[in-house]
Structure formats: C-alpha cells, structure tokens
Amino acid sequence: MYLLIRHQQPKAYFLYTVIDKGAPMMNSTTEDSVCLFSAMCGIITVNQQPQAHLTLTRTAQWQGIEIDTTVTDADGYFEFPSMFVKNRKKFQTSTFLVTQNIFTDFGNKNIRLWLGSKLFPQEFSESRGEIISVRGELTEREKSYSINSQVFLTLFDWAVVTDSISASLNTFNLTIN
C-alpha cells in the first residue's frame, strides 16, 4: 500500500510506502506510460545487522525528475513499487534513457545505494524480466553490473544474469559481434 502525493513546483511525485512484505508489486507498461524504475525489494544491513528506520530516497530522471521514498522496517526490509509516468511525448527506443538513483543517510553521510541507466521502457528491463530483490551492506564497496548494456553501480548484491564484466577491475568487457 502506498500514498502518492504530487507536488506542483517542482513537478515531482513523492511516494510514501507502507511496507507490506506480502504485497504484489507488479504493474505493466502501457503505450501511454513508461516504467522509469522497476519494483525493488531488499534488506539493508551494517556489519550484517539489519538497519531499521532508514529512509531511502529513489529518483528517476527522464522527462523530469520523479522522487519517492520508503523506510526500512525492523528487519531492515524495504520495498519500492514500480515507478510509472505518462509518456508525455513520443520517443524512439534508442532515445529512452532514465538516470536512476537511490540514496540513504547513515552516520552523517549521504550514501549512494544505486546509480543506474535504464535504456528500455518496459517494467523489469533492468533485471531481464525478473523482480529486483537485493541485499545491501552499507560497509561494502560499490559493484558494477551490466544488464542488456544498461549499467548499474550499486552497494546491493543482486542475483541477476549480467553481461560480461571484469569485477576485479570494475570495467566492462562487452563483446560486439
């Protein structure tokens, strides 16, 4: 369950999520709307201990900036529903590019949990059609993922089939045939 509040200036959507571990999170893209950020759930820890009451802020920038937040529960669990917006103008698939971010404040620091580039308007295109289920340890280093040429830099461990990545060098080795 969530409450959507639209602010007029600046144009932004704030989504306050009530965490319900059993709630379905899937919606579908229509020709009038696009998915800027697919649904995500996970657990945040520090030194393997769940972190309760962390506020996570998620942003997506495409034809404007969309913002929503959620708060971890007592077990460090969080959920974000898929973020859809109306397609305000026609676009070519090759020109669709959404910049995605998730941040939290912890220990007087603003910590980036996720930085991504979404290239496709379909829901779950970031994860090859699978629900994004993650686990984040705030004391670890960021990891690079490339999924269908979409690049993600994140603190989250994520069971997703990736493109070829050299993890030790944090560089991408994409083969073009």
* Residue 50 falls inside a structural domain: yes
* Residue 121 falls inside a structural domain: yes
Q: What are the tokens at 142?
A: 């960021």
Q: 171-175: long-range contacts at Cβ-Cβ below 8 A with a sequence spacing of 24 or more?
A: 171/144, 172/144, 172/146, 174/146, 174/149
- Give the count of domains, the chain: 1
* Residue 80 falls inside a structural domain: yes
Residue ranges of alpha helices (H) inside the chain are none
Compute the average pLDDT of residues 136-160.
94
* Residue 177 falls inside a structural domain: no
Which residues are registered as beta bridge partners of 59? 67, 101
Q: What is the CATH number of the domain that holds 110?
A: 2.60.40
Considering the entire predicted model, what is its pTM? Answer: 0.74
* Residue 106 falls inside a structural domain: yes
* Residue 126 falls inside a structural domain: yes
pLDDT in tens, 110-133: 999 999 999 999 999 999 999 999
Domain that holds residue 123: 2-172
